[in-house]
A and B are shown apart, each in its own frame.
Chain A
Amino acid sequence: MVIDQYRFRRLLFDSLNFAFVVMVALILFQAPEEEQILRDMKFYALLWGGLMVIGALISELFLKFRIVTLGELTFSPPSRKHLRSQHNLFYTFWGWQFIISLILTLWIGCLITKADLWELLDERGIRGAIHLFYALFDPNWQILPQAIVNVIVTIFMAFIATAFAIPVAFILSFFCAKNIMKHPVAFVIYLTLRTLFNFIRSIEALIWAIIFSVWVGIGPFAGMMALMIHSIASLAKQYSEMVESVGEGPIEGVQSTGASFLQTIWFAIVPQVILPYISFTVYRWDTNVRMATIIGFVGGGGIGTMLIKYQGQAMWNEVGTIVIVIAVVVWAMDQASALIRDALK
């Protein structure tokens, strides 16, 4: 039996799906307490493993009898596409597999998130919310100057983070572009950088802000560093994807004149990517302003830190002022960046 990528993906999908469906059905039926689940975690883990093996076996068996499972439907190799029938959803196995999985997921999902309509309509709760809304819409304008000063700090945090990230990401983007890094040594650099950037991006800027607030102390500098690290990784990825999609023609054309490696990048690749680069960068600044606000919550400085301070004291009129200032700035940044990006098309 050959395990190619199609078979692997199908088996993984179908066995995960089978284990999930059976497990959810079991939990819904038994309705165990949380402590019970925690105590019997080993049992559940073993059960899950066993179910996955059974699921994989079922998937193989069904394929033999030409019954299309959801995994087969999604990951079938090009040579087997014809097995997909044109039948109505309700006449197929995968259709029912999908429907049952979806219903069970929604059901258990509501249980887990404790979604409760009655809680939402509770009279006392609603009164509290109305009181809060009243306060929010009755902002305390006395703190407006302070809010404006803080939002300026936030905007500059985002600006400096973006500005410092641009040159670093620009240079690194060429090292993360597959079409340039063909040489074996270069390919290793490419893979290393890609992995590093994926790692950095997979950690939220919020977490970076916590790390840097310990490192350099609470304040705008920590927030700026967090945004910068995150921006470098994001921009380098977006930039390098642009580099990978450039036309080969101009590259060959410039190379054929005897141009060096640097000259080829500068004259054949850069002119093709410069507009999308600017577009991504403007959007990144816009995103960074929004992220800088949130980062303030964990000690990144600026308007976010101010907001969390008043929120902690339940001073809702002051929070209202701050929310309005944030909304205006985010809206303005969003409009401006959309206009700029539109003009660059």
Chain B
Amino acid sequence: MGESGVTVDSSKVILSIKNLVKTYPNGVQALKGVSFDVREGEFLVIIGLSGSGKSTLLRCLNRLHDPTSGSILFDHGKEDIAQVKGAGVRRIRQQIGMIFQHFNLVPRFSVLKNVLLGRLAYTPIWKSLLGWFSEADRKKAIEHLSLVGIAEKAHLRADNLSGGQQQRVAIARVLSQNPKIILADEPVASLDPATCHTVMEYLKKVNEELKITIVCNLHFLSLVRQYATRVIALKEGEIIYEGSPQDIDEQWFARIYGEGAKEVHVN
């Protein structure tokens, strides 16, 4: 199985997930004991059908969902994300940012204000409620907007932007959190193919230039081959593949997506 034989330098492991189980109150078992490591600086892509547990897995990693059992060791095992509570959860979310399929911006706010939301965890509550973000935060926010190429839209309302632009704002927001890891849940699934690559290129840039680890759920295998440094495939809540994107041949493809599935390319 892929690289399973290769020993990994444990100091390079940023997240270590062990036996993660998530059962929803309605009895659906979305994750059935998932274990894997996320290594510092990698672009890890998780693939699988809808309903395979990808989204649940990502949401457990920053505790938007609470895992049922198992552990998620972070920061060289100093902290178990699965166990933290209250303020601890918020500290974890601050360090593990997220971008979403539907961008999840606040539609009525300006682009700049949306990016500043990334600073909420760093700003005292009373200051943030009054909208007093520091001058340094504002400057940094503009820088991050420049990085994703939409600084000139800073004062437009977020819902006036196209889907691709909104996702770039979401990237700028997550960057202003100064995260160690970015989780990306189907970041291009609601974008057209052309925009899709723009957004993926920015994620790649963030990964390579800012050295931020990325864990990303993706649908299209062609994108996976192009951007992933490593791949995990989920099927019915279990890991069935772990390895290099280039090693996913037709047989693996059929196992992951089911017989009769056909690969679609995004150009």
Contact = CB atoms under 8 A, between A and B. Distances in A.
B110 to A, nearest CB: 11
Interface in B112-135: 117-121, 125, 128-129
Interface stretch (A81-89, A137-145, A234-242, A260-268): A260-268
A22 B214 CA distance: 73
Interface of B: 62, 64, 90-95, 97-98, 100, 102-109, 117-121, 125, 128-129, 170, 173-174, 177
A254 B120 contact: yes
A258 B128 contact: no
Classify chain A: how many residues form its interface, as a range: 10 to 19
Contacts of B94: 257-258
Contacts of A263: 120, 125, 128-129
Nearest to B91: A258
Contacts of A258: 90-95, 120-121, 177
Contacts of B118: 257
Judged by DSSP, the binding face of A is helix
Chain A CB within 10 Å, residue with most, of B62, B95, B120, B125: B120
A259 B109 CA distance: 16
Interface string A321-342: 0000000000000000000000
Given A253-B104, A253-B117, A271-B108, 8 more contacts: A253-B170, A256-B100, A258-B90, A258-B93, A266-B128, A267-B106, A267-B109, A272-B107
Contacts of A266: 128-129
Contacts of B173: 253, 257
A256 B103 CA distance: 12
A32 interface: no
B64 A252 contact: yes
Contacts of B128: 263, 266-267
A150 to B, nearest CB: 42
B108 A249 contact: no
A255 interface: yes
Given A252-B64, A253-B170, A257-B97, A267 B108 contact: no
B107 to A, nearest CB: 7
B54 to A, nearest CB: 16
A250 interface: yes
B105 A256 contact: no
B170 to A, nearest CB: 7
A249 B174 CA distance: 15
A256 B91 contact: no
A262 B106 CA distance: 16
Contacts of B104: 249-250, 252-253, 256
* A-B residue pairs, 3 tightest by C-beta: A253-B104, A258-B121, A258-B94
A321 to B, nearest CB: 47
26 contacts: A249-B102, A249-B104, A252-B64, A252-B100, A253-B100, A253-B103, A253-B117, A255-B64, A255-B93, A256-B64, A256-B93, A256-B98, A256-B100, A256-B104, A257-B94, A257-B119, A257-B121, A258-B90, A258-B94, A258-B177, A259-B121, A263-B120, A266-B129, A271-B106, A272-B106, A272-B108
B117 A254 contact: yes
A12 B129 CA distance: 51
Contacts of A267: 106, 109, 117, 120, 128
A271 B113 CA distance: 12
Chain B CB within 10 Å, residue with most, of A249, A250, A253: A253
A252 to B, nearest CB: 5
Nearest to B119: A257
